[in-house]
């Protein structure tokens, strides 16, 4: 009788183990890779010929290559959209990025993606760049649902010293890390190590957020030397940065294979915004006003920081063997859609979330079916906004003198023919939509911060009575409200 009892206990244990392994297998691992300021055409799968990206090209050719994958047009807003599944205008992160000296961050009442996946049994990690709040530890990744953290809290940092203005921005699990190495390779090393520690019985979400190829433009000499055929020096260094990024992604995929996890891992890759075409949006660490900016957004107009397509239509692909059909996917996908899509795949509830702007686009990703998304809100700010409905896109600059652009992206994807004057009723309806969204918007925290700093009491800039020491006059550059139109303001050249 005792023998029979032991056999029953053994059988029950084996059955429970089998159920656990089956449940884990039903929930895919998610490897979410984000590049930083990568140009749309700076990968082989979108037509780059001078920069080689064989590992990314293999992911794209073996999976879904997206032709209409949208993000926000700058770093912080996109990362907020990814983590919340909600447009950043809803919680005040719609304007520029969180500056290094600023104290604000992503609203702590938002229920973030890693928190949602943890509730569904996932282990969660961020390796790389955060940029959703750094001045208060309550904003840091470990406090927002990530079990493990390694990398930069802000994101614009020297690739070798891992600092900005002498302040170290390199951490592991909330503790500062002083080490040597090039950030792209350090991030790759840590991701390989992390994957080596995972097992098939517990799914993981790895948010792998490289700071490459964001400024400052730095690369190991061996990578720069790969591109001696590129004559322009900044483009040559940038090519080395992208090549190193591609190599590290290749190492990460090899680590998945080695661990036997590749077949149950969804990989999604995209940039956080379009490549930089305006020095004003190239970062603050170095003066790039006289540098040839190296990013290539192909045929798309403008780039990072702009409401034109080049700012937010980004290089992107997805790969999951046996689950994603290899093809070009033309359906519209926005960064906010990844939250509900990942949650659905994970069997995770979004009940704790505030109302999501994202929709589940898994059938679009996996099968190329028509996207459930018919509208894209590029942004809603007090001084400008843009929305796409179907094939129609409107950009509205509300500061005096106001201006409106209207494009039919099916006929004019590169935004060369403004037809606003021919469609007054369409303009009126889309302006009404933006006004309605504006009423739902939170005040931009960046503008509140800038106003607070700019209007703070300080030492007067007084001229000398003898005229020998005139008061300093501001040098004029483009303001954040400009997109090639309007008046100049004091920004880019005051560095």
Q: Decide if 334 is catalytic.
A: no
Query: CA-to-CA distance for 68 and 87, rounded, in angstroms?
Result: 18
3-state SS class at 341? helix
E strand intervals along 82-199:
123-128, 148-151, 163-164, 167-168, 171-172, 175-176
Instruction: List Cα–Cα distances, 165 to 32, 217, 419, 478, in angstroms.
Output: 30, 16, 46, 24
The position carrying tokens 């799914």 is 203
Up-side HSE of residue 218: CA atoms within 13 Å toward CB?
17
Is position 478 annotated as part of the catalytic site? Answer: no
Write the DSSP assignment of 400-460 as a string of letters.
SSPEEEEEETTT-TT-----GGG-HHHHHHHHHHHHHHHHHPPPPHHHHHHHHHHTS----
Active-site residue, from 32, 111, 116, 131: 131
DSSP readout, 215-281? SS----HHHHGGGTT--SHHHHHHHHHHHHHHHHHHHHHHHHHHHT-GGGEEEEEEESSPPP-SGGG
CB contact set of 61 (below 8 Å; sequence gap of 6+): 45, 326
> For the purposes of burial, counting CB atoms within 10 Å of the CB of 206, is it exposed (0-12), middle (13-18) or buried (19 or more)?
buried
The catalytic residue among 75, 244, 295, 317 is: 75
Residues with a catalytic annotation lie at 75, 131
């Amino acid at each position: 009788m005792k023998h029979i009892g032991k056999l029953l206990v053994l059988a029950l244990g084996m059955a429970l183990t089998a159920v656990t392994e089956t449940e884990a297998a039903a929930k895919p691992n998610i490897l979410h890779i984000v590049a930083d300021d990568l140009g749309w055409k700076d990968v082989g799968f979108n037509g780059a010929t001078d920069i080689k990206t064989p590992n990314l090209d293999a992911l794209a050719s073996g999976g879904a290559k997206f032709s209409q994958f949208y993000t926000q047009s700058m770093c912080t807003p996109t990362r907020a959209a990814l983590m919340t599944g909600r447009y950043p205008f809803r919680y005040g992160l719609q304007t520029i990025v969180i500056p290094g000296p600023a104290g604000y961050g992503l609203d702590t009442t938002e229920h973030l993606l890693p928190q949602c996946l943890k509730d569904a049994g996932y282990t969660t990690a961020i390796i790389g760049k955060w940029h959703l709040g750094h001045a208060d530890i309550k904003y840091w990744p470990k406090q927002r649902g990530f079990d493990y953290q390694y990398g930069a809290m802000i994101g614009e940092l020297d690739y070798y010293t891992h600092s900005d203005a002498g302040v170290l921005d390199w951490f592991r699990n909330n503790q500062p890390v002083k080490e040597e190495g090039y950030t792209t390779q350090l991030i790759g090393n840590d991701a390989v190590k992390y994957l080596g520690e995972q097992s098939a019985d517990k799914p993981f979400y790895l948010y792998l957020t490289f700071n490459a190829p964001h400024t400052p433009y730095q690369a190991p000499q061996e990578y720069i030397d790969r591109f001696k055929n590129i004559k322009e020096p900044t483009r040559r260094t940038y090519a080395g940065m992208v090549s190193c990024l591609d190599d590290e992604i290749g190492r990460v995929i090899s680590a998945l294979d080695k661990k036997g996890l590749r077949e149950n891992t969804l990989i999604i890759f995209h940039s956080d915004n379009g490549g930089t075409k305006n020095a004003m949006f190239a970062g603050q660490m170095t003066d790039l006003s006289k540098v040839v900016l190296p990013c290539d957004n192909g045929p798309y107009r403008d780039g990072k920081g702009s409401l034109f397509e080049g700012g937010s239509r980004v290089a992107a692909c997805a790969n999951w063997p046996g689950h994603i059909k290899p093809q070009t996917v033309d359906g519209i996908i926005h960064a906010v859609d990844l939250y509900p899509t990942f949650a659905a795949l994970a069997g995770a509830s979004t009940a704790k979330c505030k109302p999501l702007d994202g929709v589940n686009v898994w059938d679009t990703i996996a099968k190329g079916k028509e996207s459930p998304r018919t509208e894209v809100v590029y942004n809603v700010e007090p001084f400008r906004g843009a929305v796409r409905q179907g094939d129609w896109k409107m950009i509205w600059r509300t500061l005096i003198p106001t201006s409106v652009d209207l494009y039919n992206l099916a006929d004019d994807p590169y935004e060369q023919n403004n037809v606003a004057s021919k469609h007054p009723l369409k303009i009126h309806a889309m302006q009404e939509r933006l006004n309605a969204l504006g009423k739902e918007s939170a005040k931009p925290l960046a503008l509140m911060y800038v106003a607070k700093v700019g209007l703070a009491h300080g030492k007067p800039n007084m001229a000398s009575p003898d005229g020998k020491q005139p008061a300093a006059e501001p040098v004029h550059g483009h303001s954040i409200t400009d997109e090639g139109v309007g008046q100049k303001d004091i920004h880019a050249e005051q560095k």
